[in-house]
Amino acid sequence: MRCTAGAMKILFSSYAYAPFIGGIETVSALLAREFLAASHEIILVTETPALALSADPFEIARNPSLARLLQLVRWSEVVFQNNISLRHLLPALLVRKPVLVVHQTWIRNIAGEIGWKDRIKRALLPRVRNVAVSLAIADDINIGAEVIGNPYDDCIFKLIPHLARDRELLFVGRLVSDKGVDVLLRALGILRQQNVSACLTIIGRGPEETTLRALVCELGLDQAVTFVGEKVGPELAEVMNRHQVIVIPSRWPEPFGIVALEGIACGCIVVGSEQGGLSETIGNCGMTFPNGDSQELADRLRTLLSDSQMCE
């Protein structure tokens, strides 16, 4: 039984949310359900439009007008932002509601540049309570944020007894350039030249899929690489349980890496790029390599694949 003392009205801000699938959206759904289970009242506000009826057990305000947003802020006792959003933050500060911001990613663009909106966000940080999901993020925002790592759904992502772990490499994520799937494919090509056989399963979709399929053909990996589209929840957990190694080859510095937690929970060894917060998430449950370096990644994978005990 959960304690009901101190129940609050929480306006949960998640700028992006389901049906969009991503790390922040996954964490938002998990946290909002846990807040609700702890007897708090939850209204989730997001800018993501609905494509179908929601199955979430709490109210969702999608694309609210400014008037509606102010109404929701006044209703709340605290505003919880799962990653900072100026559109949702400014009304809360105007009404002087307490705000807690969980920093899920860098306050800069993917090229590392700090734009004018980022400067405004950084200027407002002293007016809110700040939590960072990794030491790397905390160091970057430099505001004395408390570090609390992201959760994962341990009811779904766990070891499945008696399931054969008979497949080698797995990638899970959006097929976009910054996720570095091409780095992984080139590493697989290097292993092939060294007569090290390994098969790769790619889970996810995205704008780079056609380019990546062409690269598979160019590298002669047609028989070694399988694209299976998107998988989530128990279906994804089952696939993870069938693989030995999950690879997170991001070109950009990952702020955290929830898929690493999910993979570890399912018994996978994780090999990931070393910059950002991903190395913190991996800890002693895998290996890291320099971002974008296919040769170094190939070396790590060869070490793992040649060690039968490590991959059991």
Tell me, what DSSP letter sits at residue 282? Answer: H
Per the CB < 8 A criterion, the answer to whether 190 and 298 are in contact is yes
Same-domain pairing of 250 and 136:
no
Beta bridge partners of 167: 243
pLDDT category of residue 312 using cuts at 50, 70 and 90: low
Same domain, 173 and 275: yes
Residues 95 and 174 placed together within one structural domain of the fold: no
Same domain, 107 and 193: no
Pick the last residue of a domain from 147, 181, 197.
147
Helix-then-strand count for the chain, H and E: 11, 13
**121 in Cβ contact with 114 (< 8 Å):** no
Q: Given a cut of 60, is residue 36 above it in pLDDT?
A: yes
152 assigned to some structural domain: no
Q: In terms of domains, do 87 and 35 share one?
A: yes
CB 208 within 8 A of CB 181: yes
Query: Is it the case that residue 17 has pLDDT exceeding 80?
Result: yes
Residues in the chain: 312
For residue 282, which of 134, 71, 102, 60 has the smallest C-alpha distance? Answer: 134
128 and 175 in one domain?
no
The answer on pLDDT for 1 being more than 60 is no
- Please check whether residues 138 and 196 belong to one and the same domain: no
Query: Which residues span the domain enclosing 121?
Result: 9-147
Please write the tens of the pLDDT for every residue from 138-173: 999 999 999 999 999 999 999 999 999 989 999 999
What token pair was written down for 221? 């990996």
Output the domain CATH number for residue 209: 3.40.50.2000
CA distance 126 to 121: 10
Q: Single out the residue in 118, 147, 176 at which a domain terminates.
A: 147
Two structure tokens written together for 61: 């305000």
> Do 293 and 220 belong to one domain?
yes
Question: What domain count does the chain have?
Answer: 2
Structure-block tokens of residue 68? 């509606």
220 C-beta neighbours (distance < 10 Å), count: 11
Residue 177 sits in the same domain as residue 127: no
d(CA 178, CA 253): 9
**Which residues lie closer than 8 Å to 210 by C-beta, 6 or more apart?**
none
- 154 in any annotated domain: no
Q: Is residue 311 part of a domain?
A: no
Query: Are 67 and 73 contacting, i.e. CB atoms less than 8 angstroms apart?
Result: no
Is this model's pTM higher than 0.85 or not? Answer: yes
Residues 176 and 142 in one domain: no
Burial class of 214 by CB neighbour count within 10 A (0 to 12, 13 to 18, 19+): exposed
pLDDT per position as a tens digit, 209-233: 999 999 999 999 999 999 999 999 9
Regarding whether 206 and 110 lie in a shared domain, the answer is: no
Q: Tell whether 213 is covered by a domain.
A: yes
Within a domain: residue 156? no
71 and 129 inside one domain: yes
Residue 4: is its pLDDT beyond 60?
A: no
| pLDDT computed for residue 310 by the predictor | 55
Considering the domain boundaries, does residue 153 fall inside one?
no
- φ and ψ at residue 195, rounded to 5 degrees: 60, 30
Residues 6+ apart with CB under 8 A from 96: none
**Has residue 64 been placed in a domain?**
yes
The amino acid sitting at 82 is N
* Residue 62 belongs to domain with CATH number: 3.40.50.11930
For residue 242, the tally of other CB atoms under 10 A from its CB is 17
Tens of pLDDT, residues 113-122:
999 999 999 9
d(CA 125, CA 148): 17
Q: Is residue 86 part of a domain?
A: yes
